[in-house]
Every structure is written in structure tokens, then in C-alpha cells.
Amino acid sequence: MERRAVYRNKVLPWLLIGPQLILVLVFFYWPTSQALYWAFTLEQPWGGGNAWAGFDNFLYIFRDNRYWATVLRSAFYALAATGLSMLVALTLASFVDRALKGTKLFQSVFIWPYAIAAPAAGVAFRFIFSPEAGLIGGINTIWPGIWDPATNAAHALAMVIICHAWLGIGYNFVFFLAALQMIPKSLSEAGAMDGARPFQRMMDLQLPLIAPTAFFLLIMNIISSFTDSFGLIDTMTEGGPIGQTEVMVYKIYIDGFKGLDYSGAAAQSIILMLLVISLTFVQFKWVERRVHYN
């Protein structure tokens, strides 16, 4: 085995990792411990008090069918937004990968949406989808009442998911395109000579080869569906109609800041954190093994 150089200094390593450690403690562990404390007590909105509540806050949440509805909604949101965004991005990337005319232009056009902040996109899409004044709402003049995200929960959720997926397309597109271009052209050509049509080449050759990229994107998209959804929902629907676009993060916001139930919101955020951790764990433990053929 190769020998490594070792510095015997007790202070230097701490100095080197010190700033990092402080950042992690201050920005991650301190807020988390604060949230934990609130989740197990009854926090007075203006501060002070904190009567011990044990698991009451959690039990309260678990008994609440409205909470479970937001969990299901979040799962649906994550899958729908991720699936839609990745599917469209892959389609676009495979067109651009074929180096048709104007490819360079499309490359830059497709990445633009990614540069737009979620709340800004939310405002723009709210206008586009508005039932009375919007562009899509224009179909209401032909078929009155066919499109109404202001009162119809399914429409409202679809509107937010479409906007979320749209925002992610550029990001997914870049990664898919890079992955596709990494595949040696000779491989595709060989497939073509063996008589495989483009769709078959896609399924049998390209998709398996870009699987690691797709896996990475899956994780990034699912995480973003939890974090970025807040800005969109807040600007587009504010959780409505009837609270039916409230996903887990948005319910935390509503309960914590509008309802001033800091303890209930803290308990929900602990649950959400555990959920995201376990989701990531499952993905790395099971899914990644399959894509990397270990």
C-alpha cells in the first residue's frame, strides 16, 4: 500500500474544519434542535412559556385526516411534477441530441425557464391560467366554466404542477442532453445498422446508459418538489381552493405563520425532515444499486 503523508498537529485540523463546523451547527443543528424543542412543547407565539407536551403535537397531527390528505397530495405532486418535467426534458434532449437544424438555438431556449425564480413564474402562470382574465381561461368564453382553478381543486393542483414541471425542464434537459451526448455515436449507429428504429434505440440503448443521470435527476426533482413548491403555491393559489393545494411544506407555513401554531408546525417539519431523509436513504440504498448495476 502506498504511504500517505501525515501531519501530526492537534490544532490545525480544528482550525481548518472550524468554520465549516460552526456553519453547520449554526445553520443546521441549532434550528433543528429549536424545532425539536418546539415540537415537544407548546410554544407561545410571542415567545416564552413552553409547557411540556410530550408527543401530543405529533399525535394531534396523526389523528388529523387533513394532514394525511396533504401527505398524499405531496406524494402525488412530487411524482406528477417530476414525471412530467423529466419526460418532457428527455424528449426535448433527444431531439436536440440528434443535431437537427437550429439545435444551438434550442439549447439556449430550453434552459431559460430554469433561470426564472419560482414565485416569478407563479405570478406569470397565474395570469396565464386565470379563469377570467387569463390566456388558458379564454377557453371559458367558448365552454363556460370548463377551466376554473379558483374553485376546482383538481384544476388548481394541475396548474401548479404544470408550472413546477415547466420550471424544472431546463435543468433536466441540460443533464439529459449531456448524458445523451456522452453515449458514443458508434453505439447508436451499430444499433441502427442492426435495424433498430429510433424509439427502440432509445429504449434499449440510450435509456439504460443514461440511467445514472436519470437517477440523479429523480432525486433532485423530488427534493425540489418539496422545497420549491412553496413559492409557487403561495403566489398561485395560496393553498386554495378550500386548502386543496396545500402540500406538506405549505401546511407547515399555514399552521405556523397564519395559524400561529408554532409547535404543530415544528412537529410537522420534523416529520417532513424524517420523510425526506428516509426517501433519500431508500433511493440510494435500493434504486442506485440497480442503476449502477452493482
The CA-CA-CA angle for residues 222, 57, 279, to 5°, reads 20
C-alpha cell at 249: 411544506
Please tell me whether residue 19 binds another protein under the rule CB under 8 A. Answer: no
Residue type at position 259: G
Work out which of 62, 257, 281, 284 binds another protein, going by CB under 8 A: 257
Work out which of 266, 267, 271, 272 binds another protein, going by CB under 8 A: 266
255 and 238 Cβ atoms separated by less than 8 Å:
no
User: What would the x/- binding string for another protein be over residues 155 to 194, using CB under 8 A?
Assistant: -x--------------------------------------
Q: How far is the CB of 193 from another protein (least distance, A)?
A: 56
Nearer to another protein, 130 or 224 (CB): 130
Please tell me whether residue 52 binds another protein under the rule CB under 8 A. Answer: no
Among 15-23, 70-78, 211-219, 254-262, the segment contacting another protein (CB under 8 A): 254-262
228 and 166 Cβ atoms separated by less than 8 Å:
no
Q: How far apart are CA 92 and CA 196, in angstroms?
A: 21
Residue 48, classed as helix, strand or coil, is coil
* DSSP structural state of residue 255: I
The number of beta carbons lying within 10 Å of the beta carbon of residue 111 is 15
Distances (CA, A) of 82 to 62, 97, 123, 144: 27, 22, 21, 31
Q: How far is the CB of 282 from another protein (least distance, A)?
A: 26
Q: How far is the CB of 294 from another protein (least distance, A)?
A: 36
Please tell me whether residue 149 binds another protein under the rule CB under 8 A. Answer: yes
C-alpha cell at 98: 440528434
Q: How far is the CB of 54 from another protein (least distance, A)?
A: 12
Please tell me whether residue 119 binds another protein under the rule CB under 8 A. Answer: no
Q: How far is the CB of 185 from another protein (least distance, A)?
A: 47
Please tell me whether residue 131 binds another protein under the rule CB under 8 A. Answer: yes
Please tell me whether residue 231 binds another protein under the rule CB under 8 A. Answer: no
Q: How far is the CB of 15 from another protein (least distance, A)?
A: 25
Among 13-21, 127-135, 204-212, 279-287, the segment contacting another protein (CB under 8 A): 127-135
Distances (CA, A) of 26 to 11, 23, 48, 170: 21, 5, 21, 33
Work out which of 13, 45, 184, 198 binds another protein, going by CB under 8 A: 45
Please tell me whether residue 47 binds another protein under the rule CB under 8 A. Answer: yes
Question: If we measure between CA atoms, which residue out of 115, 93, 87 comes closest to residue 106?
Answer: 93
Burial per residue of 72-87, b for 16 or more beta-carbon CB atoms within 10 angstroms, e otherwise: ebbbebbebbbebbbe
What are the φ and ψ backbone dihedral angles of 240, each rounded to 5 degrees? -90, 180
Please tell me whether residue 54 binds another protein under the rule CB under 8 A. Answer: no
The alpha carbon of residue 122 and the mean position of all alpha carbons in its chain are separated, in whole angstroms, by: 15
Please tell me whether residue 70 binds another protein under the rule CB under 8 A. Answer: no
Q: How far apart are CA 100 and CA 158, in angstroms?
A: 32
Work out which of 124, 196, 243, 276 binds another protein, going by CB under 8 A: 243
* Residues contributing to the site for another protein (CB under 8 A): 27, 31, 34-35, 42-49, 51, 53, 60, 126-127, 130-134, 137, 149-153, 156, 237-238, 240-243, 254, 257-261, 263-264, 266, 269
